[in-house]
Chain A
Amino acid sequence: MNNTFKRLALAAALAAGLASAHAEEFLVGAELPLTGSLARVGAGMQEGIMVAAEVFNRNSKHKIKIATVDDESAPAKAIAAVEKLASQGAVAITGGYGSNNIAPASDAANKLGIVYITSGGVDDSLVSSGRKNFFRINNTAGYEKAVLGLFSDMGVKKVSIIYSTKDATSDLAKSVQKALEAKGVAVAEHSFDPAITDFKPIVNKVRLQDKPDVIFMVGYENDYVGILRAARVLKPQVKAMVGVWSLATPKMAAEFPDLMPNVYGTALLPFPATFTTEDGKNFADTYKKMYNKEPDYLGQFGYVQSMLLFEAIARAADKGTVKKGGIAEELRKTDRDTLIGRVQFGANGDNLNFSHRMGQHQGKNIVIVWPKEHATGKMAYPALPW
């Protein structure tokens, strides 16, 4: 009896050991806006997620399978997408775009006890509302740091901020405004409804009333095109046009060659992109192979968030803790150099080290002009697109 018990215990221990070391396949949900107003950014992030899965599966004994559900850029659909993916057996969710979609979707993930990781929402309430399984790799502070650094190098005395009334854009505009005013820079602000199509009345106010050194745009691609077009017509006497995300990109240079010269925007990499690390080369090569184009920042963010998640899943699988909160635990232990810099998550799930860089469209290239240690060229200032 005693021997039988010992043999059974040995067999159980061996089985448990084998199970934890055994290669497993995990389903990861991608909840993204592939249609609706955020379809463009959602599709960009999806590319990064798929590249991460490809690279990870090539190099790991564990395998990742991606199931994607389109949230149609709508909060209610985002919740439904997360619930559907969880019901299909997804162990975690990567994706999300737009803070107003991410908030309810990550709440749903939190209730279901699964991890939600994103780079698509910079609203601070996402990390201050007690979501236990929420992680993100970028934040308003990182964008603010880059914009303020650029303005400081330019020595601007007066700034006009034109910003969309959406959550993320308002947050960033307000933060930058406060920080600039604290430094003694005069700021005039003009919020606009996302449905606006004619920016001439706003730019005319900037031209005749504000007379700033710089126009700072906080919006999305369509807003930037509208503002730059209005500025091209009214020609306000400013020294630079500065924006944030989705602006200093090869796509904008290719699609709007007449509007982009000398315009500044956040950019982690110069264009043409040069990747020096092994991870970077893996990403760029795989991306080009899969999509037959140069990688952009959306793909880069999607790749980083997903790769960190997949690695955490693999570590949790090795420890046999995937279904016991191990993925979140492993993500909290993350300390890794990535394509967007060093990533470590704080107790609230926010990346502690995120800091962006500023790029400028110069000819067909995008040159990193801030910070100095990462600069690939000198800024053209004063310089305008018209």
Chain B
Amino acid sequence: MGELIAQALYSGLLQGGSYALIALGLALVFGTMRIINLAHGELVLLAAYIAYTMESKLGLGPVAAIPVALVVVCVASSTVYLLVSRIREDREINSLILTFGIGVILTNLILLVWSADVRSTSSSWLQEAFVLGPLYSMRSEVLFFGVSLAMMGGLWWWLSRSWYGRAVRAVSSNRDAAKLMGIDPGRTELVSFIVAGVLAAFAGVALFSYGVIQPAYGAALTVKAFIITVLAGVGSIPGVLLGAVLLGVAEALTVTLASSALQELAGMALFLLVLFVMPNGLFGAAGRRG
């Protein structure tokens, strides 16, 4: 039983890392602009399909697809922002409807271009076992867990140390006051969306490397990312990692100790429990003030 639980914790940790990478972009935009980008999962999926195309057509490994995925997904993410920025009233509500629609359009574009077939990497190196004593994982999972940590560190540094990062936080805190300080809110929000695009590009390539992709997966990715964002507490980057790992571990332990059919239920139970005990999430604003 000890070996089973150790493997569950390890699998949950790695799964949590991948969840965190998927959730980061959504958390950034939600935390800084109060916009829930419901097309975020589709942006992640777009990057995954670019990795698939590079591998199947050019024989390049998924990692080599990152530069192309970055360009395409950042352009797509910027386009989403340009459309959202046209909203003049009730931006928080109307952006929900708009980004949902963009997500549907993106799903259908992916379907048209790449068909409905199930895709995944054929790189045996990425799929080979990485053995750590009694613990097993795929190489790709460990690789992208490291990438996830690095991206989180980079994002934290950018938000706390760079001019644009601080501008993003200033706009999020008080848009009008930020204007008075010489910050262009529109440009700052665009930068947020571009950074979210960068995160989505890495997440998509990672997803293609250790998982399976299909055009309809985008919505499920968005839901998972949204749960983690709320679990983390709006605007908290460490909260995203903790929330994602908690979710991953809870799911893996449920599979091991109870039934795999209850995995999603366990995730939702954790989500509700955290919100009941800590209504602002694990690292929500109220908690930070305290």
Q: Which residues of A are interface residues toward B (Cβ below 8 A)?
A: 34-37, 39-40, 42-43, 73, 165, 190-193, 195-198, 200-202, 204-205, 208-209, 221-222, 225-226, 229, 232-235, 251, 255-258
Residues of A within 8 A of B280 (CB): none
Task: Report whether B127 and A196 are in contact in the complex, using a CB–CB cutoff of 8 Å.
Answer: no
5 pairs of A and B residues whose beta carbons are closest in the complex = A39-B116, A40-B116, A201-B255, A192-B260, A191-B261
B229 within 8 A of A: no
Task: Report whether B8 and A201 are in contact in the complex, using a CB–CB cutoff of 8 Å.
Answer: yes
Complex: chain B residue closest to A234, CB-CB: B136
Residues of A within 8 A of B265 (CB): 193
Complex: chain A residue closest to B211, CB-CB: A197
Residues of A within 8 A of B122 (CB): 255-258
Which residues in window 95-145 of B have CB below 8 A to A? Answer: 107-108, 111, 115-120, 122, 124, 127-129, 136-138
B252 within 8 A of A: yes
Bound CA span A249–B107, Å: 26
Of B117, B118, B265, most A-chain CB atoms within 10 Å: B118
A120 → B minimal CB distance (Å): 14
Residues of A within 8 A of B4 (CB): 204-205, 208-209
Question: With A193-B263, A198-B11, A255-B119 in contact, do A39 and B129 touch (Cβ < 8 Å)?
Answer: no
Residues of A within 8 A of B216 (CB): 35-37, 39, 73
Task: Report whether A193 and B214 are in contact in the complex, using a CB–CB cutoff of 8 Å.
Answer: no
Bound CA span A233–B111, Å: 31
Question: With A35-B108, A233-B137 in contact, do A200 and B260 touch (Cβ < 8 Å)?
Answer: no
Name the one of B117, B212, B256 contacting A205, with C-beta atoms under 8 angstroms. B256
B259 within 8 A of A: yes
Bound CA span A226–B108, Å: 24
Which residues in window 1-47 of B have CB below 8 A to A? Answer: 3-4, 7-8, 11, 15
Name the one of B119, B124, B138, B263 contacting A192, with C-beta atoms under 8 angstroms. B263
Residues of B within 8 A of A209 (CB): 4
B174 → A minimal CB distance (Å): 39
Name the one of B107, B129, B252, B255 contacting A233, with C-beta atoms under 8 angstroms. B129
Residues of B within 8 A of A234 (CB): 129, 136
What are 27 A-B pairs with beta-carbon distances under 8 A? A35-B111, A35-B116, A35-B215, A37-B216, A165-B261, A191-B259, A192-B255, A193-B264, A196-B260, A196-B264, A197-B15, A198-B11, A200-B137, A201-B255, A201-B260, A204-B8, A205-B256, A208-B4, A221-B118, A221-B212, A222-B212, A222-B214, A226-B211, A226-B212, A233-B127, A234-B136, A255-B120
Task: Report whether B117 and A255 are in contact in the complex, using a CB–CB cutoff of 8 Å.
Answer: yes
Task: Report whether B263 and A196 are in contact in the complex, using a CB–CB cutoff of 8 Å.
Answer: yes
B150 within 8 A of A: no
Residues of A within 8 A of B119 (CB): 255
Residues of A within 8 A of B138 (CB): 229, 233
Question: With A193-B261, A258-B127 in contact, do A201 and B256 touch (Cβ < 8 Å)?
Answer: yes
Task: Report whether B215 and A192 are in contact in the complex, using a CB–CB cutoff of 8 Å.
Answer: no
Complex: chain B residue closest to A192, CB-CB: B260
A2 → B minimal CB distance (Å): 68
Task: Report whether B136 and A200 are in contact in the complex, using a CB–CB cutoff of 8 Å.
Answer: yes
Bound CA span A201–B129, Å: 15
Bound CA span A39–B215, Å: 9
B10 → A minimal CB distance (Å): 9
Bound CA span A35–B256, Å: 34
Q: Interface code B232-275, partner A: CB below 8 Å = 1, 0 otherwise? A: 00000000000000000001100110011111110000000000
Residues of B within 8 A of A200 (CB): 7, 11, 136-137
B220 within 8 A of A: yes
Residues of A within 8 A of B262 (CB): 193
Name the one of B214, B251, B260 contacting A40, with C-beta atoms under 8 angstroms. B214
Complex: chain A residue closest to B260, CB-CB: A192
Name the one of B7, B108, B117 contacting A251, with C-beta atoms under 8 angstroms. B117
Complex: chain A residue closest to B212, CB-CB: A222
Residues of A within 8 A of B136 (CB): 200, 204, 233-234
Residues of A within 8 A of B251 (CB): 198
Extra inter-chain contacts (7) besides given A197-B212, A198-B15, A258-B124, CB under 8 Å: A190-B259, A195-B220, A200-B137, A204-B7, A233-B137, A251-B117, A258-B122
A90 → B minimal CB distance (Å): 24
A118 → B minimal CB distance (Å): 19
Residues of A within 8 A of B220 (CB): 195
Task: Report whether B255 and A202 are in contact in the complex, using a CB–CB cutoff of 8 Å.
Answer: yes
Residues of B within 8 A of A37 (CB): 214, 216
B265 → A minimal CB distance (Å): 8
A214 → B minimal CB distance (Å): 19
Question: With A198-B15, A233-B138, A255-B117 in contact, do A204 and B260 touch (Cβ < 8 Å)?
Answer: no
Residues of A within 8 A of B8 (CB): 201, 204
Residues of B within 8 A of A36 (CB): 216
Residues of A within 8 A of B11 (CB): 198, 200-201, 204
